[in-house]
Amino acid sequence: MSAPNIETIVSLAKRRGFVFPSSEIYGGLGSAWDYGPLGVELCNNVKRAWWRWMVYERDDIEGLDSSIILNRSVWKHSGHEETFSDPLVDCRECNSRFRYDKLLDEHPPVSAALRTLMQPSDVMRDFPCPNCGKSNWTESRPFNLMFRTQLGAAAAEDDPNALAYLRPETAQGIFINFHLVQQTMRRKVPFGIAQIGKSFRNEVTPGNFIFRTREFEQMEMEYFVRPGEDETAHQEWIDNCFNWYTSLGLSRDNLRLYEQPKEELAHYAKRTVDIHYRFFPERAEEEKHWDELMGIANRTDFDLRAHSKNPLDAEGKRVNPDSTEDLSYFDEARKERYYPYVIEPAAGVNRSVLAFLMDAYSERTNDKGETRVILQLHPDLAPIKVAVLPLARNKPEIVGMAKGIKRALQPVMRAVYDDTGGIGKLYARQDETGTPFCVTVDHQSLEDEAVTVRDRDTWEQERVKVADLQQHLRQRLEVRG
Ligand code: GAP
């Protein structure tokens, strides 16, 4: 079947307890979402799968959990204070505010050359405002995306000494801890530092459900390599990341690699390749189906140099007078000192969750002609691994046996017990939430100590002895330690 659109997923997510509109009882809060009982499990499973793959299954990566609020100097020297902004334009008629670059993307006939030559108000002279339809625009101006806050109870609102930011990426927390991790863990380059955590961006145009929000979670890893070995390492990480998504079930047909053209590259990047997912299959043009799921950047030695106390600029002046450390690295084997280059795979938890939900969505018609939704999530990601269901909920022996089986399974896998409907309804509910297996306890079970195991994807059933059940399910789920 064709891929679902985001609205189908929004509706399923709310109906089944994955994602709720935030603050709904107060009318909501634009583009803020809360993860419900199954959503939090799915997010945790995505993060766990990433951490296991990135940290535990390799020998060269350490983990970190740095502060969300860092010394303001971090953002000054990383370049975020100066350059982490989107160009904004206002409609003078209705006061709506838009991203200039996104409006231009909606009007492709405006060539890149023209954009750079003309003032935004001239380029956009004939563009209708998406809100009111009139054409009366201001010039564009930069809008910094970092959320500002004040530190300390006594700080005056405009006290620059109390100004702090919520981090817009987790990466900088890694760079400023580079030496501490390297030295405490006695690491030699090449090695990496991984971090998962919340980031915040005051996006001008958030939207498309959990695709773009102002508060989101990132999974980032900074891999430090010797200059000159960066290009090979970069290509390896591009391939690794693509394969990680397919290993967890994303279809290759819905993924593509996108080489960022020079004019799109961030100020620190030598080369960046994004992994795109087909998030918007309903959009008319094929090119507009795709958007970024994660980015894999070659950040060069920009960040370690920027945060070091000593680098000199062309005139011999110190570039960073605030840092107390030189973050260069001494390579004992080669007897050389250098600033390592950094390869950065950076993924969004929430965008990954959206892609996994969209890719897992399928529909099947049963023998009564009813259409059922099946969420064919990879077992590692499924919020619930097994549901134990009694065939007769008014029979205490069957209920007791089913509850006992659930209790025996729960220390090794996420198991639930459910008797709130007929068996057809219970199966449908578990299919829709992506539970790989249902275990049904019936009258026969009381005699033969066996249960029926039903497979979500094939709807096939097999009889399994209760004594063998845990082992049977573990094998099929490939539950890892
Ligand atoms: N440290 C590099 C960095 O932050 P990025 O491409 O800006 O790079 C990495 O962000 C990933 O974070 C994106 O590929 C996306 O998955 C996720 N992301 C970025 N902004 C987001 C937002 N406003 N809402 C949800 N996810 C976002």
Which pLDDT tens digit goes with each residue over 190-201?
999 999 999 999
Q: Are 234 and 300 contacting, i.e. CB atoms less than 8 angstroms apart?
A: no
* pLDDT at res. 127: 85
* pLDDT at res. 481: 39
At 76, phi and psi to the nearest 5? -70, -50
C-alpha angle 380/386/387, rounded to 5°? 145
* Beta strands at 450-455 and 461-465: parallel, antiparallel or unpaired: antiparallel
Find the 206 Cα to ligand 1 centroid distance in Å.
12
Burial of 467 (0-12, 13-18, 19+ CB in 10 A): exposed
Regarding the beta carbon of 241 and ligand 1, being less than 6 Å apart is answered no
Average pLDDT over residues 104-132: 73
pTM: 0.93
From the CA of 294, give the closest atom in ligand 1: 14
User: Is the pLDDT confidence value at 480 over 50?
Assistant: no
pLDDT band at residue 461 using 50, 70 and 90 as cut-offs: very high
- Pocket-testing residue among 167, 200, 351, ligand 1, by greatest number of atoms within 8 A of Cβ: 351
In tens, the pLDDT along 278-297 reads 999 999 899 999 999 999 99
pLDDT band at residue 125 using 50, 70 and 90 as cut-offs: confident
Find the 221 Cα to ligand 1 centroid distance in Å.
13
User: Is the pLDDT confidence value at 16 over 80?
Assistant: yes
Regarding the beta carbon of 220 and ligand 1, being less than 6 Å apart is answered yes
pLDDT band at residue 118 using 50, 70 and 90 as cut-offs: low
Mean pLDDT score of the chain, rounded to an integer? 93
Regarding the beta carbon of 217 and ligand 1, being less than 6 Å apart is answered no
At 278, phi and psi to the nearest 5? -80, 75
* pLDDT at res. 155: 66
* pLDDT at res. 315: 80
Regarding the beta carbon of 221 and ligand 1, being less than 6 Å apart is answered no
Regarding the beta carbon of 74 and ligand 1, being less than 6 Å apart is answered no
At 222, phi and psi to the nearest 5? -110, 120
Q: Return the structure tokens found at 395.
A: 């029979």
